[in-house]
Amino acid sequence: MFRKTFNNLPRLSQLYAVPARLQNTQAAQAPTPAEPEDIDVIEQRILKHPDYFQVNNLFTVRDLFNARVHYGHKEGSLDDRMRPYIYGSRLGHLIFDLDKTASHLRDALNFAAHIAFRDGIILFFNRNAINAHLVEKKAMEAGEFSHTRFWRGGIFTNANVQFDAVTRLPDLCIFLNTQNNVMAQHTAVRDSAKMAIPTIGIVDSNCNPNLITYPVPGNDDSPAAVELYCNLFKEAIWRGKRKRRELLGLPPLDETQFKSSRSRSSKGKSG
Amino acid sequence: MAQSRLEKIGTIFTRVQGLLRGGAMKAEDKPIWYDVYAAFPPKLEPRFDRPASNEPVRNIFYAEDVVRAKLHKQNKSHETISLFDHKRRTQSQEFVQIYDQLKSQGALDEQRIYETALDLLAEQRQKSQPEAVEEQLQLEDPNRSTLLSDFQEADHQKRQQQQEQQQKSQQSKSSKVKQQGVNISSLFKD
């Protein structure tokens, strides 16, 4: 596996799903006359800003409350590692402390925006059948990828053999729920940690947040809550992408094309 | 590429840091998230063996829970609640509001406040219900035909027909009886 930065030429790593992305990044590397400074310098400069993409104003605690993010599972299924994020128990049902959730979510959104700015590949995960289609759709709208089905072991750890080519793995995994079912954790959480891929994960009161790089305590079952997370991450990712194209002096992408596109192939052409 | 797959040791950041420091990974091969992570580290290190805390989970209770529990224990609620309707207040919420108002006025003891609040709630409900029924009646257009009204009409017509038939048959019967009676009388005459 090769994970090269985009300054590296010749680039050996290859995308397994969208070859158009490779062309995109190469186009970005080409020095354009409008480019004021090197992208490396810009990247280092914006890291000094505490909230460059203004992800703070994306949501309020009231929005989280209205989307039912504060509902946890029942007290018996509590994972001890989630105790610091719990506000209390209302007649046996756990309630999350939304102030803590909000600050964790802002960290996660900021990280996602920075990865999108650096032209990273972002992969959305979800194993809840109710929300699977929603997540796939929102990932497509964000111009990114999703995996909502059964996880074959070795997709990350044995990628070069499984895909029969040198494979570029995603640069960020966003888990909209981290459980495979009520008993077991998603294998990709462990595999991402193995392959040194940072993860953002919505962890409910019965999940283990330890291996998740940026855990966000909150309800991962309600469609309203999952829709809110998807919209927030989508917007954060778009802010990163827009800023990149703006600073590189490239024309902005047509975001409506991502919404209307039905198939991967048409999306690949558009972006 | 040099890599450590031991996810149970350290964090993804410390493992990559070690590789970079030792020279196993070149600076240009550095993953793109590395600088972002260094600039915005997570609140807690994502270590596999991070110990679990054992803070107790506190119970959430409100002052009005006592009287609310009493209300639901002593009265059976037959209310239908729409979870999508955020504007309409439930009977329980109305009751607690009335109860708090009465309590802030002082004067009465708790049992009396409870009983008065129940009475006021019942009054309020009665006041609000006839209005709703009237509104519905006003909304209904007498000329508009619905499936129900069609059925009712058809039923009505059917009944009328049946009644007419019954009347006819009764009349015919009585006339027969009359005729028979006439015959009998005529027979007697003969």
Domain annotation covers residue B42: yes
Do B72 and B19 belong to one domain? no
Taking residue B36's Cβ as centre, other Cβ atoms within 10 Å add up to 25
Tell me which of A133 and A13 has the higher pLDDT: A133
- Among B29, B53, B55, B57, most A C-beta atoms within 10 A, so best to mutate, is B57
Decide if A3 and B3 are in contact by the 8 Å CB cutoff.
no
Q: What percent of chain B has pLDDT over 70?
A: 80
The pLDDT score that the predictor gives to residue B8 is 92
Q: For A55, which DSSP code?
A: G
Decide if A197 and B12 are in contact by the 8 Å CB cutoff.
yes
* Mean pLDDT across B144-165: 80
Which tens digits make up the pLDDT trace of A179-199?
Answer: 988 889 999 999 999 999 999
Instruction: Using an 8 Å CB-CB cutoff, list chain B residues near A44.
Output: 35
Domain annotation covers residue B54: no
Could you give the 3-state DSSP secondary structure of residue A260?
helix
Q: What is the DSSP string of A58-93?
A: G--HHHHHHTTTTEEEEGGG--GGGGGGEEEEETTE
Domain annotation covers residue B94: yes
The pLDDT score that the predictor gives to residue A261 is 55
Distance CA A27, CA A67 (A): 40
Domain annotation covers residue B163: no
Do B69 and B101 belong to one domain? yes
Domain annotation covers residue B73: yes
Which tens digits make up the pLDDT trace of A138-157?
Answer: 999 999 999 999 999 889 99
Poorest-confidence range of A115-129, A189-203, A219-233, B111-125?
Answer: B111-125
Domain count, chain B: 2
Q: Do A29 and A9 touch, CB atoms closer than 8 A?
A: yes
Instruction: Please check the confidence at residue B126 and state whether its pLDDT lies above 90.
Output: no
Answer yes or no: pTM beyond 0.95: no
Do B36 and B70 belong to one domain? no
Nearest-neighbour CA in chain B from A262: distance (Å):
30
The pLDDT score that the predictor gives to residue A27 is 42
Domain that holds residue B31: 1-49
Do B104 and B45 belong to one domain? no
Q: Where are the alpha helices (DSSP H) in chain B?
A: 12-22, 33-39, 65-74, 91-105, 110-139, 147-189
Instruction: Please check the confidence at residue A264 and state whether its pLDDT lies above 90.
Output: no
* Mean pLDDT across A17-25: 44
Instruction: Please check the confidence at residue A4 and state whether its pLDDT lies above 80.
Output: no
Domain annotation covers residue B18: yes
**Domain architecture of chain A: domains with CATH:** 57-266 (3.40.50.10490)
Q: What percent of chain A has pLDDT over 90?
A: 68
CA B151 to chain centre: 31
Do B34 and B6 belong to one domain? yes
The pLDDT score that the predictor gives to residue B188 is 54
Do B73 and B130 belong to one domain? yes
Do B4 and B45 belong to one domain? yes
Domain annotation covers residue B143: no
| Amino acid, single-letter form, for residue B92 | S
The pLDDT score that the predictor gives to residue A174 is 96
Do B69 and B119 belong to one domain? yes
Domain annotation covers residue B25: yes
